[in-house]
Amino acid sequence: MGALLHPTTSLCRTCKRALPALVEAREDRSVWLSKSCPEHGAQSVRLSTDAAWYAATRAVKPVASAPRRTPRPVHFGCPFDCGACAQHGQKVRLPVVTITSACNLDCPICYVYNKNDGTWHMDVAAFRRILQHLKDDLGEVDIVNFTGGEPFLHPEFMTFLEVARDAGVHRVTICSNGLFLAKNEPLVKRLGELGARVALSFDTFDPQTDVVLQGSRLVEAKLRALDLTEKYNVDVTLIPVMTKGMNDHEVGAILRMAMERPNVRHVELHTITYTGQGGTHFDPSRSGRISMVEVLDRIAETTHGWLTREDFVSSPCAHPLCYQIAYLLLDPDGGPPVPFTRFMPREALYACLAERLYLEPSRALEDALQDAMDRLWVSDEPEAERTLKILRQLLGALFPRDRVITREEALRAAERASKAVYVHSHMDEDTFDVERLAQCCDSNCAEDGTTIPVCAYNVLYKEKEAEFMAAPRSWGERSGDVKLRRLAVLA
Amino acid sequence: MTGRLEGTRCLVTGGSRGLGRELCLAFAREGARVAFTFRRREADAEDTTLRLRALGCEPQCFQGDVADGAHAQAVVGALTRAWGGLDVLVNNAGVQHVVPLALLEEPDWDLMLNTCLKGPYLFSRAALRGMIRARKGTILNVGVFSSERIVEAPAHYAAAKAGLRGLTDALAREVGRHGVRVNMLSPGLLDVGLGRMLMPHRVEEYRAQAALGRTGTAEEVARMAVFLVSDENTFMTGARVTPDGGL
């Protein structure tokens, strides 16, 4: 027995019924989530290697921002009433739209379900309805993330992009494995013209690791996709899935590549989750599981300290254990990037992220930068002068003396001057914690207006949908036993 | 139909783009003869020239630095030879430079003050000889609302424009007895220049503060300028006109 940190509700790894669970700190400072299923016995999983970090991070309160509309009544209890229900704490900040079940890969670590036989593609009218629901909920929709499957396999994919653009969505991201992009230069060119962004899975530079994680040697194709996106000015987010002992030692190299490639805007490091058609069967001992703080420490080790765990803040828009975010200022003279937290208080960066999952120009950001410049100016620290010089160059790009640039050009100049590193920890049955789920702001959006937090969708809901499963599961068969029992009572 | 500036000989510094270009076009539409200066942007100057020609105006165009006294003398001299004199001088040339004090270096300060304050002094001094001799003329200095209000603005820019306000006041007093009027036009946020580059939240802040709830257009300000330099404006000198939507 360890010291109790908090109780929660989790899921049975086998039958996915809801179970009371305890999160405890053990003597070795690790944090464990423990639960017991009446049918499948005691289960426990390590959530963190650092109890102090876990407790301090969990203590950060997200900014309360409940959804305006909660179409699902609270009936069975979390996580069986998605969504959103009245108990949900966050509105959707990252609308995820799954537009196809088709995929051209079968990755061993794939954490979603896809289906290539009897492929399903969302129709454009359904997407228009989703956009309308989102507008009703949010007022404006500034970001949409298309996923699948592989979204580029949708035969009408470009129409989706155009519909999003015409609806005023200014940040359209497409999750992709990159293979289609690597072979289709005109498509990449068109993405650049439309201002679309690609979220490219990129787990490793090592071909053998690639085979283990992605089932094939894909590094060359992904690098080719990166070259093309750079050529056509398509912004990219790299999405490496961190797996302990497999690719966590490569995180520094991946970050360095991200810093060097001008069109790579973000790196979003995921911790591996054992869900979906691949993940459920991958690594049965689940020895590759890695916690968020371990990823932060791998980052510090492999970047030799130019990015450390102190440079990250939680997202105010989500549960603090779901997102850790660092922003870095690039040095045009080739020096190491400067994390924002080295020249502004972490609280200031946190406050600047209050409205969105990513930094956008805002009064709060301007004030924080102004404060930072004043502080750097009066500082005697050796790095202050370099940082001030970088900020001066940034202002020069934003407000060039010799010409008038458009607002959009200024925004792009600002984006090109900085990069962001996110660590995003998804949950599977083992790590499932409804406290985190209730603060999720990433939701899969459906045409009926429901928005289901992505972790709940991947663990519980997607496998029930005929669009993605040749043999869809039913509630209670391998998930949601509680839901089945409540339904039986109601009947 | 005769324009409000028919035959008036006008020189606009920094006239190749933005508000300066709009002033040139507005003057030309009212029948003025127009000359303008520019420093670097030859393509913009060419564009302004073509637009003026389209209005039936054959402009005089001079490339140089307004802070260069020889340039000021040469421009005014050339126009005096070509036109026989100068009726209107608009000191519009400026520098777009946004930095907080922490990043404001001495060369930045010098460039701003040279362009926005020394330049108007040099061009005014060059033009006033002829105006005083003719006992007629008008100088219009283009300021900015941020030198009239306590708002966020780069310190060197606000200081230069505030200095220009002092120059306006002093010159108005000094040359009024010769029949020369000197005024200042200090527009608010417009749809040209910095107003096009600011992030939406900044523009929104301006709109929220302005009584009219919007930013201005260069054309609106140019219409005001036409009145200020025209003979319709007979009794106003040393004035500061601030078309800013009611901040």
Distance separating alpha carbons of residues B52 and B46, to the nearest angstrom: 10
pLDDT higher than threshold 90 for residue A34: yes
Q: Which of B156, B157, B218, B222 is catalytic?
A: B157
Note whether residue B2 is domain-resident.
Answer: no
The answer, yes or no, to whether residue A480 has pLDDT greater than 80, is no
Average pLDDT over residues A49-78: 92
Domain of B45: which CATH number? 3.40.50.720
**Chain B residues with CB-CB distance to A354 below 8 A:** none
Residues 394-413, chain A: which have Cβ within 8 Å of B?
395, 398-407, 410-411
B206 located within any domain: yes
Q: Within 10 A of B169 (CB to CB), how many other CB atoms are there?
A: 16
> What residues of chain A lie within 8 A of the CB of B97, using their CB?
399, 401
Given pLDDT bands bounded at 50, 70 and 90, which one contains residue A488? Answer: very low
Q: pLDDT band for position A402 (50/70/90)? A: confident
- Cα-based distances in Å from A345 to A86, A211, A371: 34, 42, 10
Give A99's DSSP letter. Answer: -
**Amino acid at the residue B10:** C
- Testing the interface with B: which of A378, A401, A402, A415 to mutate, by most B Cβ within 10 A? A401
For A408-467, the pLDDT digits (tens) are 777 778 888 899 999 999 999 999 999 999 999 999 999 999 999 999 999 999 888 888
CB-CB contact of A97 with A443 (8 Å): no
Before A186, cis peptide (omega within 30)?
A: no
Q: Is the pLDDT of residue A40 over 70?
A: yes
Q: What is the predicted pLDDT for the residue at B2?
A: 67
Distance CA A37, CA A68 (A): 36
Q: Touching check for B40 and chain A: CB below 8 Å?
A: yes
Q: What is the mean pLDDT of residues A176-188?
A: 94
Residue A123's SS3 state is coil
Work out the average pLDDT over B212-238: 96
B231: in domain: yes
Tell me the backbone φ, ψ of residue A31, rounded to 5 degrees. -120, 130
Taking the Cβ of residue B193 and every Cβ of chain A, the question of whether any pair is shorter than 8 Å is answered with yes
Mean pLDDT of A295-322: 96
Run of H or E residues at A176: strand A171-176
Show residues of chain B in contact with A399, CB under 8 Å: 96-98, 194, 197
A117 class by beta-carbon count within 10 Å (0-12 exposed, 13-18 middle, 19+ buried): exposed
Q: Is B121 a catalytic residue?
A: no
Query: Which band of pLDDT confidence, cut at 50, 70 and 90, is reported for residue A144?
Result: very high
Could you identify the residue written with the tokens 């509700």?
A9
**Bridge partners of residue B60, in order along the sequence:** B35
Has residue B46 been placed in a domain?
yes
The domain containing residue B198 runs over which residues? 9-241
pLDDT at A23: 97
Q: Do the domain assignments include residue B180?
A: yes
> Is the torsion defined by CA of A350, A351, A352, A356 positive or negative?
positive
d(CA B67, CA B118): 6
Asked if A228 contacts A262 with a C-beta cutoff of 8 angstroms, the reply is no
CB atoms near residue A7 (< 10 Å): 11
Is B173 part of any domain? yes
Q: Which amino acid is at B242?
A: T
CB B241, CB B224: distance < 8 Å: yes
Which residue's entry shows tokens 């060197």?
B156
Per residue in A105-121, pLDDT (tens digit) is 887 888 888 877 788 99
Predicted local distance difference test score (pLDDT) of residue A491: 30
> Residue A73 pLDDT more than 50?
yes
pLDDT reading at A483 higher than 80:
no
Q: How many domains does chain B have?
A: 1
Mean pLDDT value across residues A381-386: 90
> Are B247 and B220 within 8 A, CB to CB?
no
Q: Which helix (H) or strand (E) holds A33?
A: strand A31-37
Smallest CA–CA distance, residue B212 to chain A, in Å, is: 22
Contact B96 A401 (CB under 8 A): yes
CB B117 within 8 A of CB B125: no
pLDDT reported for residue A75:
85
Interatomic CA distance for residues B35 and B51, integer angstroms: 13
Instruction: Please tell me whether residue A242 adopts helix, strand or coil conformation.
Output: strand
DSSP strands (E only) in A380-445: 418-425, 442-445
Contacts of B95 in chain A (CB under 8 A): 401
* Secondary element (H or E) of residue A158: helix A157-166
Asked whether residue B4 is assigned to any structural domain, the reply reads no
Separation between Cα atoms, residue B18 and residue A276, nearest integer Å = 57
B102 and A405 within 8 Å at the Cβ level: the answer is: no
Query: Is residue A323 within 8 Å of A424, Cβ to Cβ?
Result: yes
Tokens of A380: 């005697």
Q: For the segment B57-111, what is each residue's pLDDT rounded down to a tens digit? A: 999 999 999 999 999 999 999 999 999 999 999 999 998 888 899 999 999 999 9
Q: Each residue of B142-194: pLDDT tens digit?
A: 998 887 777 788 999 999 999 999 999 999 999 999 999 999 999 999 988 88
The Cα-based distances of A180 to A154, A177, A188, A221 in angstroms read 11, 8, 10, 9
pLDDT (0 to 100) of residue A129: 95
CA atoms within 13 A on the CB side of A439: 19
Encode chain B in three state secondary structure: CCCCCCCCEEEECCCCCHHHHHHHHHHHHCCCEEEEEECCCHHHHHHHHHHHHHCCCCCEEEECCCCCHHHHHHHHHHHHHHHCCCCEEEECCCCCCCCCHHHCCHHHHHHHHHHHHHHHHHHHHHHHHHHHHHCCEEEEEECCHHHCCCCCCCHHHHHHHHHHHHHHHHHHHHHHHHCEEEEEECCCCECCCHHHHCCHHHHHHHHHHCCCCCCECHHHHHHHHHHHHCCCCCCCCCCEECCCCCC
Report the pLDDT value the prediction gives residue B80, as an integer from 0 to 100: 97
Does B53 reside within a domain? yes
